[in-house]
Chain A
């Protein structure tokens, strides 16, 4: 089994689609997304859950002059994020296949390229390769938002790209600095993460390099002071693309903390632990409060994402195995919840004459029990009701925080309460209440059901059996945490 096939299959399908007649392009890319999902499930089935190390490793020299290797691998940390990517792309592509009419070859080429870039970023085990894929993600999203969005799309997409690329170019400088400065006297430069983890960088260098990485990851997530691109971009982005942007792309940043920052710059992470936790907690509160006051349904979810990403960051920087485990769990479950949530918003908008404003929605549940039921499940999962995977994630994160940073943990718990407030508000305003002016309550069409229901089923299944994730991710997560918190005992 080769990760390269997994990564580059979507791109190949996208290139082929660009050469095919326009009406075939969408089905080819959709087919490839399904195949990728199947292949990702095969990786899950084949996964040896007892090992902390990498599996299915591909390791070849790419640019030997710069010490960059083409190094891929799966472990408990990225296995489920790869799976999340593969899962999320199927409903998003399906949804787009039926709703996107303009320039389909261009659209689906970029959608496929985006999947390749995201999968590449999750699989990369070489820092420079990670940076390549991390930056490459921006290109398709730039086109998808700018070319196919609505409203002030060009402005929005430019803002999005400049924000994100400002972060990731700083990370590029940080990555080069990390590679060069960690090279011992007379040694060969290397960007391999395993190598970098063994080479010890002086603490002083770690401290400023961590900040460069944090800039990239915080923008991507997004977290509180660096979220300026969010409102405009979320308004302009086409819905299926937004589901991916919010559900999957946001995870690449926080994943980078666990994959890169903690193992290679543990002292730097410790040094800024307090700051990062404060940022996380502020994001939780700020995101929750703003989510409560938004009228646009997309922005409710957007700001709730900021809060959720705050939770994930809190879990990581508690530097506690439970917290990190919770972060991994929460990354997966937040992604799985947000994708159907945005598609449901899309379904609601089609029933309300295209409006996504809460004041013009309402009364949707009247003739649409299935839609209402699915939305309710997703809503409960978002507010981390016991029995949902998000509950498992958040409770583990809070346990981790209580253990080491009690005060912050207590403040963050307020976020759980606030989540209930804004999610229930979202649900009530759309499904109950008096019907809006243009609302016509209709049951989910078959296509909508086909896109939304399977993902919701996965959410439910994970809520019932979270051990599927936790058991597999534990060895890898604790191993990544070990350098930053020596008290952690590595399992096996």
Chain B
């Protein structure tokens, strides 16, 4: 009798717990998994029908008819497709919660010389948009500060974890916004001459910043070689050191045709290794991009043309034109809450001329290479981080469903607040 009471109690109590917890996403599960008999899209080594074994966060085997490890959970994938997690090359995810509520946004610091502002310090692992994003197969994003000149240092993070340090892939990127010679908006009533003056002034400020960093670098090196007492005490210049020493690329946000060329020449002048971001008018200066052999992170693809006289579809075509010319292209949404749409941006790029192969690379291995983590990310290969999703079809197609998701080898439930609201309200009770 007592035990029956106990059982009843347990049932009621567990029911209570479930309903109280209903607003939280279920826990991820660890373990050894074998994804069995799916079409494995490795990205770097072709596609084939086979298996993938995940253990301790890593991809430990990729092949055909692999023996099933004793402890492994079998995930039947016949008829399904297995892809490496998609990487978004530029977002605000984790740094913003609600656009119009300024106190929930941490991507724009005051001032314009902020290379030392670190996105990783402000990433909120519990941002509601993170589960919303990853259930669409986007497992990794570059979250970046925004603003003028040097807005800060972005962080490449995996979309699972309870601390920024855990989520970090170890890759960060210093961002610069190249001065724009375009209009700021429809309300921008500056004369052409004023725009030029402002541009020159902004460029001068950037040059001074870089030259200061170079000087600082020389002092730092000299002090070290002479064994002199020297304490690095300038946080912004410290942050610029790897860039001016050629040890890390500079991620330069630039969009207008003339400015893209300007940014390339500027980088050469200061012997800085650039990665261009945005590059909305890359299609207009694709020869320069090829000549300078510069990688680009472009997007959003689903976007308006930058000039009213442009064809309606230039933004759709831009990524494909650059990739076709041989530029290494990665995609970004440049979004926050709707970073989940990255696969659709890639799909539009394909519809408007990018090859399927280039498009897949642009959201996987190309991004991994640009962020210097291609040894760990961007493809399904033995030894890489187990960021993987399984679909019932083409990953860019709108109606395709993501059926399984692994990040760092964790089996992630396909839940977000948006799916929970669906579950609760589809058939409301009481009506």
Q: Do the two chains bind? A: no
| Chain A residues with a Cβ under 8 A of chain B | none
| Chain B residues with a Cβ under 8 A of chain A | none
